[in-house]
């Protein structure tokens, strides 16, 4: 790191758990962020400002006026522009030296097979089960840790899925792809604006912890938030030996 980087990240470097060595791990890391909306906005911003050396942001959608209530990476003058490109512009406004690859396409299995092997950590900030299962399958296939978040209404959830750990489940262990889940959209149910910020910030924190190798990750634990009461609930999530995704991969 040069002198400017040492100054920029000095508050991290002062932490005994991070220091110069940990900050260098962040600079050497590559985070893949799937989705640049409500969750992806705080995730990308905090990962970028924290010093992640390379970010790939994947989102096929465009900025809409209704997004601006909660998707803090975007601006009014970018309505109609690709969200991934908008998030990239915001990150480069904060730190012009960041390496940000904006992919304005849907994260399908072929793209994930290209991007996931390159990543140190993958963060699922998508809003539908199809994408979540595709991201999870790719992470299991390529042995990459996945930090997954979801938020709707006043309810949020976060967990880390790391199938390389013998005791940790993958996303499909909890939410089997063969099950019939009803998709719930923000357009019909609404979402409390700060909720996505809270969940996204926790996702970013978990990713940074995984990269540096500090603390206790949320692997094997599902963290749920009721923002009405501001109450957190934690549920243990053991691995499912019969899982159709990670069970077959072992």
The predicted structure's pLDDT at residue 77: 97
Other CB atoms closer than 10 Å to residue 27's CB: what's the count? 14
Domains identified in the chain, total number: 1
Asked, for residue 89, whether it belongs to a domain, the answer is yes
The predicted structure's pLDDT at residue 247: 85
The predicted structure's pLDDT at residue 225: 98
Asked, for residue 159, whether it belongs to a domain, the answer is no
Stated pTM of the model: 0.95
Strand order of the sheet with strand 155-161? 99-103, 54-58, 30-34, 121-124, 146-152, 155-161, 221-226, 231-236
Q: Which domain holds residue 116?
A: 3-152+193-219
The predicted structure's pLDDT at residue 214: 96
Distance separating alpha carbons of residues 44 and 37, to the nearest angstrom: 10
pLDDT classification of 164: cutoffs 50, 70, 90 = confident
Asked, for residue 172, whether it belongs to a domain, the answer is no
Chain-centre distance for alpha carbon 122: 6
Asked, for residue 241, whether it belongs to a domain, the answer is no
Does residue 211 carry a pLDDT above 80?
A: yes
The predicted structure's pLDDT at residue 188: 74
Point out the least confidently predicted range of 160-169, 177-186, 208-217. Answer: 177-186
Which residues make Cβ contacts (< 8 Å) with residue 78, sequence separation at least 6? 63, 86, 89
Tokens of 57: 């942001």
Does residue 194 carry a pLDDT above 90?
A: yes
pLDDT classification of 177: cutoffs 50, 70, 90 = confident
Asked, for residue 84, whether it belongs to a domain, the answer is yes
Task: Average the pLDDT over 71-87 and give the result.
Answer: 97
Task: Average the pLDDT over 147-168 and give the result.
Answer: 94
The predicted structure's pLDDT at residue 32: 98
Asked, for residue 165, whether it belongs to a domain, the answer is no
Show which residues are catalytic. Answer: 186
DSSP-derived secondary structure letter, 79: T
Tokens of 154: 């006043």
Asked, for residue 243, whether it belongs to a domain, the answer is no
Give me the percent of the chain exceeding a pLDDT of 70: 96
Give the pLDDT confidence of 48-65 residue by residue, as tens digits: 999 999 999 999 999 999
CATH of the domain at 127: 3.40.50.720
Q: What is the mean pLDDT of the chain?
A: 94
3-state helix, strand, coil in the chain (%, to 5): 45, 20, 35
Asked, for residue 184, whether it belongs to a domain, the answer is no
């Amino acid at each position: 790191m040069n002198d400017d980087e040492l100054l920029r990240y000095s508050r991290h470097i002062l932490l005994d758990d991070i220091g110069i060595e940990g900050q260098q791990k962040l600079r050497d890391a590559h985070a893949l962020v799937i989705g640049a909306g409500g969750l992806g906005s705080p995730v990308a911003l905090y990962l970028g400002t924290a010093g992640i050396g390379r970010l790939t942001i994947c989102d096929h959608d465009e900025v809409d006026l209704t997004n601006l209530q909660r998707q803090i990476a975007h601006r009014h003058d970018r309505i109609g522009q690709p969200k991934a490109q908008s998030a990239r512009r915001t990150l480069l406004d904060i730190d012009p030296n960041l390496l940000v690859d904006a992919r304005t396409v849907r994260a399908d299995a072929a793209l994930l097979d290209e991007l996931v092997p390159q990543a140190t950590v993958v963060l699922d900030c998508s809003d539908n089960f199809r994408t979540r299962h595709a991201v999870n399958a790719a992470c299991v296939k390529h042995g990459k840790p996945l930090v997954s978040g979801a938020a709707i209404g006043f309810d949020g959830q976060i967990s880390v899925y790391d199938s390389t750990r013998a005791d940790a489940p993958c996303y499909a262990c909890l939410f089997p792809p063969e099950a019939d889940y009803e998709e719930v959209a923000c357009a019909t149910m609404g979402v409390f604006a700060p909720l996505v910020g809270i969940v996204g910030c926790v996702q970013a924190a978990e990713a940074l912890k995984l990269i540096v190798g500090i603390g206790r990750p949320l692997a094997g634990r599902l963290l749920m938030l009721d923002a009405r009461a501001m109450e957190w609930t934690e549920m243990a999530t053991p691995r499912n030996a019969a899982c159709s995704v990670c069970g077959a991969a072992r």
